[in-house]
């Protein structure tokens, strides 16, 4: 049931040749014939990361051993990498630190925010927020002995629930399932107007969408390093604390690296000044090195060009799927409006899991989110316009032939 379209593959090849970001593709390891539409879940390997890891393992760890903490400046990696990430999210260098995982950083920042807003007992979020954010909030409330409430509401009506009960507005900037993007500046302003603090999860936006935390007046933010920052599987995360709050909060995970003088080895905790008090344990240097390499590469790109290409790629994908794959049960759930669209496109399909497994077998890698979402991420540094055409070609073939309708594609894997 393919339909004709005015767009041609040849025209897209020409468009790729004129793309100002085209040269970045050669900076990544992309297997031949593979169309990778899952960079919003795990970014591919930058070529320079291989060299950096070789240097860190063989030259630094291998030759310097423990001297690497000072001779190779391992000890300052969290602050150094945090300062680089700050440039991607509209923050000052001393407002971001690279540490731990997104979940742990959310626990730290949420606990701090509640402490800073005494007398209020409600954390406001959405029902479809990323589960770890909701789980961490639930666990923190239990840890505090109750007395707090996690209020989960419809995301499209979130502003209606901002009132004088809300201690913290906790949102993910881009919804992990639908790709819908919140108006971060407007909601931050509305939260502040009713006396609430804001905590934003940037996991699905930083590195693909320009973010200006200070411009919006955000209080706290967290994000991960393994998606659009291309830091590798399980890469360290980061957190942001606005300067105005840094001297005032209480860090719940008071580990030795967050101490004012960790190598004084005193028995009483004294928090480090500024963002450094958000550190906890010893930083994972090998993972930090890989992440720093990915961040350095991203910093070479113009984020306005990245955003423009992201919208162009997702526009093209939506158009081609709707034109060529109509009638096969795909329902678009990602907003068409550029102002509220992230860098992914999601469709519902009654056989979504099997369909995605068939696509992966055809070398188009996206992912599946229960119960019925097939999700495609568009990372502009390495994706081409012709990749979009070819991905839709393979999708159409699978739909037409019902290639997804096989037992091997229905068998649920541990990671979807």
Return the number of other C-beta atoms located less than 10 Å from residue 13's C-beta: 13
Please choose, from the candidates 190, 219, 234, the residue with its C-alpha nearest in 3D space to the C-alpha of residue 43: 234
Catalytically active residues are: 130, 201, 226-227, 375
Contacts of 249 (CB under 8 A, 6+ apart): 112, 113, 115, 116, 241
CA distance 220 to 106: 9
Q: How far apart are CA 133 and CA 135, in angstroms?
A: 6
Q: What Å distances lie between residue 135 and 102, 140, 238, CA to CA?
A: 12, 9, 19
**Hey, is 192 helix, strand or coil?**
helix
Each residue of 69-104: b (16+ CB within 10 Å) or e?
Answer: beebebbebbbbbbbbbbebbbbeebbbbbbbbbbb
CB of 270 within 8 A of CB of 125? no
| Cβ burial, residue 1 (10 Å; 0-12/13-18/19+) | exposed
């Amino acid at each position: 049931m393919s339909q004709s379209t005015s767009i041609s593959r040849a025209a897209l090849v020409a468009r790729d040749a004129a793309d100002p970001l085209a040269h970045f593709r050669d900076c990544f390891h992309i297997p031949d014939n593979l169309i990778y539409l899952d960079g919003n879940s795990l970014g591919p390997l930058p070529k320079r990361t291989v060299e950096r890891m070789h240097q860190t393992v063989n030259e630094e760890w291998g030759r310097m051993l423990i001297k690497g903490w000072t001779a190779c400046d391992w000890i300052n990696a969290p602050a150094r990498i945090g300062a680089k990430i700050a440039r991607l999210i509209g923050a000052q260098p001393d407002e971001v630190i690279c540490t731990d995982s997104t979940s742990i950083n959310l626990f730290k920042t949420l606990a701090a925010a509640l402490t800073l807003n005494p007398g209020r007992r409600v954390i406001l979020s959405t029902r479809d927020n990323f589960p770890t954010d909701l789980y961490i909030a639930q666990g923190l409330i239990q840890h505090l002995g109750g007395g707090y409430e996690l209020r989960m509401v419809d995301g499209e009506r979130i502003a209606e629930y901002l009132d004088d009960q809300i201690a913290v507005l906790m949102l993910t900037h881009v919804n992990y399932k639908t790709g819908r993007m919140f108006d971060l500046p407007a909601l931050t302003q509305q939260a502040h107007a009713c006396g609430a603090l804001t905590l934003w999860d940037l996991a699905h936006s930083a590195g693909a969408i320009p973010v200006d935390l200070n411009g919006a007046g955000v209080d706290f933010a967290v994000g991960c390093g393994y998606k659009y920052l291309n830091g590798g599987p399980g890469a360290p995360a980061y957190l942001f604390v606005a300067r105005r709050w840094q001297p005032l909060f209480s860090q719940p995970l008071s580990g030795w690296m967050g101490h004012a003088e960790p190598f004084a080895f005193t028995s009483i905790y004294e928090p480090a000044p500024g963002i450094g008090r958000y550190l906890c344990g010893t930083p994972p240097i090998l993972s930090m090195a890989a992440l720093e390499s990915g961040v350095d590469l991203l910093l070479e790109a113009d984020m306005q060009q990245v955003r423009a290409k992201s919208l162009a790629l997702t526009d093209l994908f939506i158009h081609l799927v709707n034109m060529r794959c109509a009638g096969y049960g795909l329902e678009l759930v990602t907003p068409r409006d550029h102002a509220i669209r992230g860098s992914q496109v999601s469709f519902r399909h009654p056989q979504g899991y099997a369909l995605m497994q068939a696509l992966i077998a055809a070398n188009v890698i996206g992912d599946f989110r229960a119960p019925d979402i097939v999700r495609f991420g568009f990372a502009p540094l390495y994706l081409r316009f012709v990749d979009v055409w070819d991905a839709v070609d393979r999708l159409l073939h699978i739909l037409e032939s019902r290639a997804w309708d096989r037992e091997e594609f229905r068998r649920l894997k541990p990671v979807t």
